Amino acid sequence: MTPTRYAFIKASWHADIVDRALDGFHQLIPPEQVDVFDVPGAFEMPLLSRDLAASGRYAAVVAAAFVVDGGIYRHEFVAQAVVDGLMRAGMDTGVPVLSVSLTPHQYQETEHHKQIYRAHFVEKGREAAKAALTIGKTRAALAA
């Protein structure tokens, strides 16, 4: 039997922006089918993604984060490690692990930028839901 629940991991860093991805996801997949998990930041998502995917409870795992240049470290390294880890979690478990992790080159803590990225995360959440549903249908057809 194929699971009909979805895991949605969201990083708490920039939660006012990242949480909008869950709003978009819920536009296509009802909240009753989604278990939500919070993590401190993007770097913690791959391990939890792997554990959730390996549990056998979920049709897909979605991980959302906003990785920006904080001036202390190169955000490209964090972003690459996160995306590589998410891909590995999916490949190792055979469960789709989808990324809604954005890494803008230019981000400033202004209301204008926050509005742009909030709206973008809603769209990316919808896209993740579409991808989860499409992959599920395709895999079900292959198994039939």
Task: Judge whether 121 is annotated as a binding position.
Answer: no
Q: Which of 20, 50, 57, 74 is catalytic?
A: 74
* Rounded Cα distance, 111 and 117, in Å: 10
Taking CB atoms within 8 Å and a gap of at least 24, the contacts of 75-80 are 75/103, 76/103, 78/42, 78/43, 79/42, 79/103
Task: For residue 85, give the DSSP letter.
Answer: H
Which amino acid belongs to residue 67? V
End-to-end CA distance of the chain: 12
Q: Is 88 one of the annotated active-site residues of the chain? A: no
Task: Judge whether 77 is annotated as a binding position.
Answer: no
Where in 31-89 does DSSP place strands (E)?
A: 34-39, 58-66
Task: Judge whether 67 is annotated as a binding position.
Answer: yes
Please check whether residue 59 is in contact with residue 5, taking contact to mean a CB–CB distance below 8 angstroms: yes
For the annotated binding site for (2S)-2-hydroxy-3-oxobutyl phosphate, the residues are 113
For the annotated binding site, the residues are 13, 42-44, 66-68, 99, 113
For the annotated binding site for 5-amino-6-(D-ribitylamino)uracil, the residues are 13, 42-44, 66-68, 99
The residues annotated with a catalytic role in the active site are 74
